[in-house]
Amino acid sequence: TLNPASMRLVMESVPFLKQHGEKITTVFYQKLFSNHPELLNLFNQTHQKQKQQQKALAEMVMSAAMHLQNLEAIAPAITRIAHKHRSLDVKPEQYPIVGENLLAAIKEVLGEKATPEILNAWAEVYSFLADQFIRIETQLAEELLQQPGGWTGFREFVIDKKEKESDVITSFYLVPKDGKAICSFQPGQYISVKMDIPGEKITHIRQYSLSDSPSKPYYRISVKREDGNDQFPAGIVSTFLHNRIHEGDSLMISAPAGDFVLQEKENRPVVLISGGVGLTPLVSMLNTLAERRHDVPVTFIHAALNSRVHAMKDHLRNLAEQHDNIRYFVCYEQPSDEDRRLKNFDKEGYLDLDWLRSLIPSPEADFYFCGPVPFMKVVKSLLGQLGVKDTDMHYEIFGSAIPI
Ligand code: FAD
C-alpha cells in the first residue's frame, strides 16, 4: 500500500504536472531512448513521431495520479495497456528503467519545483503502479500458458495463404511453423507482428486484429497498405507485408491479446459499426455470431470510401443473406460510377443520426465500433444522441490508447 503522505504530495502536484504533461513525456522518451537504445525496438516509432505515445503516457500517468485513492475507476485503462504490454512481451525488469527516466524527466522539466519530497513521492507512486501492471501482465501470461497451444513472447508462423480483399486490404492466413496447436482467442483480439525489415535499423512491432472466428485452424489478419503521400512516407510494416511477404514466408507473432472482445449475452442485440480497415475485429465477431448465435439480432454497418476499397464485401453480404438474424448496411462516402450502376450501397456520404436511427431499433444493445479516430468520435457522439449508454459502447483504437 501507498504511504498517505506520498499519495497526497503526488495528487497535489497533478494540476501543475498536467500543464507540463506532454513536455515531461517528450523529455522522458528522449532520455529513455538515448540511455537504452535497445528499447527503440519495443515502442512504435511512428506513434512517437506523431506524438501519440507521449500524449497517451501523459494521460495515463496523470489519471493514475488523480485516482490513487480509487484505482478501480481507471481499471479498464489499466487492463487495456496491460494487454498491449503482454502482447509486446514487455518484461518486469523494464519497469525500473522506465521509472528512472520518468523521474529524471519530471526533475528536468519542473526544475526547482521538483523538491526531493515530491520526487520521492513520485518514485513511490510509480513503483506502486508498476507493480500493478507487472501483476496483471504476469497473470495474463500465465493464463496463456495454461491454454492448449498458448505461448509467451514471439512464435514463428508461416503464411499459408495470402488473399487480396480489396485494392488496399490483403489477408494473411497464419499457421504455426512447429505444426503444433494454436490457442483460442476472443473475437475482437489482436496479435503483434515483429518485423526485421532489411535496411531498417530497428525492429518494428505492429498490432493486427484477428479477422476470422476462433473456430478456424489458422489466425487471419487483414492489413491495409498505408501508401505514402506528399506529406508522409508510406507505412513501414504494412507495405512490407503487402509487397514483400508471400505465401510460405514466416512472421514472428505474439499470442492473441486485447480487451475489446465480444461479450456474449442472452437475448442482447449486437450492433457492429466499422469504418475502413476497422472492420477486421468486427468481422471476427460477426463470423463468430454467425456460427454460434442464431437467436441474437445482429446489425453490421460498414462505412468505406467506395467498393474498390471495401474488403470482404461478398462474404458480408452472403452472411446477411444466409442468416435471418443478421442485417448488413453499407455507406459509401464517394460511390464509383460502377457502385451507382450496381446500387451496392445503402447510403451515400457520411453516417448521420437519421440513418443510424432508422437502422438501430433500440439503444438497448451492445455496440462495438472501430475505424479511424475521427470516425469513432462521430459514431460515439451519434450513439450518445440515440440514447446508448457509455457502458454499452465498446471500441478499439488502431493506435496509442488515447480515449476518444
Ligand atoms: P507506419 O510506418 O507506422 O506509419 C503509419 C502512418 O503514419 C502512415 O500513414 C504514415 O504515412 C504516417 N507517418 C509516418 N511518419 C509520420 C510522421 N512523421 N508524422 C505523421 N505521420 C507519419 N491495421 C490494419 O491494417 N489492420 C488491422 O486489423 C489492424 N488492427 C490493429 C489493432 C490494434 C489493436 C492496433 C493498435 C492497430 C491495428 N492496426 C491495424 C494498425 C497497425 O498496427 C499499423 O499501425 C498499421 O498497419 C500501420 O503500420 P505501418 O508500419 O505500415 O505504418
Minimum CA distance residue for ligand 1 atom 33:
398
Is residue 115 scored above 80 in pLDDT?
yes
Three cell numbers at 278?
A: 476497422
| Calpha distance 394→186 (Å, rounded) | 14
| Calpha distance 322→313 (Å, rounded) | 14
Following DSSP, what letter does each residue of 317-330 receive, concatenated? HHHHHH-TTEEEEE
Can you give 35-64 as a three-state secondary structure string?
Answer: HCHHHHHCCCHHHHHCCHHHHHHHHHHHHH
| Calpha distance 345→329 (Å, rounded) | 7
Question: Which pLDDT tens digit goes with each residue over 117-144?
Answer: 999 999 999 999 999 999 999 999 999 9
pLDDT for 276 = 97
pLDDT for 357 = 97
Is residue 187 scored above 80 in pLDDT?
yes
Separation of 52 CA from ligand 1 center, angstroms? 12
> Given pLDDT bands bounded at 50, 70 and 90, which one contains residue 269?
very high
The CA–CA distances, whole Å, from 244 to 71, 101, 178, 212, 375 equal 45, 37, 23, 23, 31
User: Which of 190, 241, 280, 398 to mutate for ligand 1's pocket (most ligand atoms within 8 Å of CB)?
Assistant: 398
Separation of 121 CA from ligand 1 center, angstroms? 37
Is residue 62 scored above 90 in pLDDT?
no
CATH of 155-253, one of 3.40.50.300, 2.40.30.10, 3.30.420.280, 2.160.10.10: 2.40.30.10
Query: Which residue among 59, 137, 165, 396 is the active-site one?
Result: 137
pLDDT for 139 = 97
pLDDT for 223 = 98
| Calpha distance 300→367 (Å, rounded) | 10
Residue 302 · residue 330 · CB < 8 Å:
yes
Burial of 36 (0-12, 13-18, 19+ CB in 10 A): middle
Separation of 398 CA from ligand 1 center, angstroms? 7
> Given pLDDT bands bounded at 50, 70 and 90, which one contains residue 55?
confident
Residue 52 · residue 402 · CB < 8 Å:
yes
pLDDT for 181 = 97
Three cell numbers at 215?
A: 473456430
Following DSSP, what letter does each residue of 337-376 receive, concatenated? HHHHHHT--SEESS--HHHHHHH-S-S-SEEEEES-HHHH
Supply the mean pLDDT for the chain. 94
Q: Is 137 a catalytic residue?
A: yes
Three cell numbers at 303?
A: 462505412
Is residue 68 scored above 90 in pLDDT?
no
For 140-297, where are the E strands, in sequence order?
155-164, 169-176, 190-195, 204-209, 219-224, 250-253, 270-275
| Calpha distance 263→286 (Å, rounded) | 12
User: Which of 232, 240, 369 to mutate for ligand 1's pocket (most ligand atoms within 8 Å of CB)?
Assistant: 232
Q: Which residues line ligand 1 (CB under 6 A)?
A: 46, 49-50, 190, 204, 206-209, 222-224, 226, 228, 232-233, 235-239, 277, 280, 396, 398-399
What is the number of the ligand 1 atom nearest to the C-alpha of 239? 52
Q: Which of 364, 374, 152, 160 is nearest to 257 (CA)?
A: 152
pLDDT for 83 = 97
Minimum CA distance residue for ligand 1 atom 30:
208
User: Which of 206, 230, 253 to mutate for ligand 1's pocket (most ligand atoms within 8 Å of CB)?
Assistant: 206
Minimum CA distance residue for ligand 1 atom 36:
398
pLDDT for 265 = 80
Question: Which pLDDT tens digit goes with each residue over 141-168?
Answer: 999 999 999 999 999 999 999 999 999 9
| Calpha distance 55→53 (Å, rounded) | 5
Q: Could you tell me the strand order of the sheet in which 326-332 lies?
A: 347-348, 326-332, 298-304, 270-275, 366-370, 393-396
Asked if the domains 4-146 and 270-396 are classified in one and the same CATH topology, the answer is no
The stretch 257-267 carries a mean pLDDT of: 90
The stretch 99-107 carries a mean pLDDT of: 93
> Given pLDDT bands bounded at 50, 70 and 90, which one contains residue 402?
confident
Is residue 246 scored above 80 in pLDDT?
yes
Query: Which residue among 95, 173, 208, 328 is the active-site one?
Result: 95
pLDDT for 64 = 87
| Calpha distance 329→98 (Å, rounded) | 46
Contacts of 122 (CB under 8 A, 6+ apart): 10, 13, 103, 106
Residue 364 · residue 270 · CB < 8 Å:
no
Three cell numbers at 330?
A: 453499407
pLDDT for 59 = 85
Contacts of 219 (CB under 8 A, 6+ apart): 157, 173, 174, 182, 185, 191, 210, 212, 253, 256
> Given pLDDT bands bounded at 50, 70 and 90, which one contains residue 53?
confident
Q: Is 95 a catalytic residue?
A: yes
Burial of 346 (0-12, 13-18, 19+ CB in 10 A): middle
Question: Which pLDDT tens digit goes with each residue over 333-381?
Answer: 999 999 999 999 999 999 999 999 999 989 999 999 999 999 999 999 9
Separation of 170 CA from ligand 1 center, angstroms? 15
What is the number of the ligand 1 atom nearest to the C-alpha of 211? 28
Separation of 279 CA from ligand 1 center, angstroms? 15
Is residue 21 scored above 90 in pLDDT?
no
Is residue 105 scored above 90 in pLDDT?
yes
Minimum CA distance residue for ligand 1 atom 24:
223
Separation of 278 CA from ligand 1 center, angstroms? 12
pLDDT for 345 = 97
The stretch 32-43 carries a mean pLDDT of: 94
What is the number of the ligand 1 atom nearest to the C-alpha of 234? 11
Question: Which pLDDT tens digit goes with each residue over 209-222?
Answer: 999 999 999 999 99
Minimum CA distance residue for ligand 1 atom 40:
208
What is the number of the ligand 1 atom nearest to the C-alpha of 232? 11
Separation of 42 CA from ligand 1 center, angstroms? 15
> Given pLDDT bands bounded at 50, 70 and 90, which one contains residue 22?
confident
pLDDT for 266 = 77
In percent, how much of the chain has pLDDT > 90? Answer: 83
CATH of 270-396, one of 1.10.1040.20, 3.40.50.80, 3.40.50.2000, 3.40.140.10: 3.40.50.80
| Calpha distance 225→101 (Å, rounded) | 35
Is residue 403 scored above 80 in pLDDT?
no
User: Which of 45, 46, 277 to mutate for ligand 1's pocket (most ligand atoms within 8 Å of CB)?
Assistant: 46
What is the number of the ligand 1 atom nearest to the C-alpha of 400? 36
pLDDT for 245 = 98
pLDDT for 66 = 87
Query: How many CB atoms within 10 Å of residue 233?
Result: 12
pLDDT for 108 = 94
Contacts of 204 (CB under 8 A, 6+ apart): 44, 45, 194, 195, 197, 236, 237
pLDDT for 13 = 86
Q: Where are the domains of the chain?
A: 4-146, 155-253, 270-396
Greatest Cα pair distance, the chain, in angstroms, is 71
Region 4-146: CATH code: 1.10.490.10
